Amino acid sequence: TGAPLLDTLSALQGEGVALPGGGRFALPAWSPDGVENVLRALQSSPVMHNASPLDAVMVDAVALLFDVIFEDKQAPDRLKALIARLQIPVLRVALKDRSLFSQRAHPVRRALDALARLAPRVHEGEGGAARLAQVGTTVDRLLATAETGDAAFETAAAELEALERESEQAIESGIADDIAERVRAERAGLA
């Protein structure tokens, strides 16, 4: 199952697909400033008329996943725009590998989970902007290699988890520096 829809997704990522009665259907264009759940557009398109019921359920499940991500108030819009670019690659994996939703260690889940945990750490500011740029590089690389499936997501998950660890260490180091400075100030005040 999923092969005809997978083939259609490949065409949709290109110039779109020809419709039986004439015309073409293409997914909305990606915008670096906006966040749109393109899977909702896919669901209501004529392309889904030939999809199997199981494929339709998978499209809905992945669309719901992205709905939740896009509604997250902690994630800045620039991060959401990067994540939005992953909709079709995530759907492609979900159609091929149904274990995506049942295995916490699945590379796609790990990558999305790491992005969710990074969300509060990529806000404006020097450190957040640098982390956001690193996320952008990882997303670009993932999109360039997404056809390799789990291997591309495995690499992306590892990169994002490493970025998350670095972010956590930077926060802990900053807190330790703040505490040390307050202790020094308090001791100076007592002296």
Q: For residue 63, what pLDDT is reported?
A: 95
Per-residue pLDDT at 189: 72
CA torsion through residues 165, 159, 40, 26, sign: positive
Rounded to an integer, the average pLDDT of 71-80 is 87
Q: Check residue 23 and give its pLDDT.
A: 74
Least confident of 115-119, 163-167, 179-183: 179-183
Q: By the 8 A CB rule, do 1 and 52 touch?
A: yes
Q: Which residues face 24 on adjacent strands?
A: 18
pLDDT at 170 over 80: no
Give the mean pLDDT of 42-53: 85
User: Are the CB atoms for 92 and 6 separated by under 8 Å?
Assistant: yes
Alpha helix positions (H), 3-125: 3-13, 38-43, 53-71, 77-84, 87-96, 107-118
pLDDT digits (tens, 9 = 90+) for 94-120: 998 888 889 999 999 999 999 988 888
- What pLDDT, in 10s, does the model give residues 21-46? 777 777 766 666 668 888 898 888 88
Query: pTM for this structure?
Result: 0.78
* Per-residue pLDDT at 1: 46
Average pLDDT value for the chain? 81
Name which residue leads in pLDDT, 19 or 92: 92
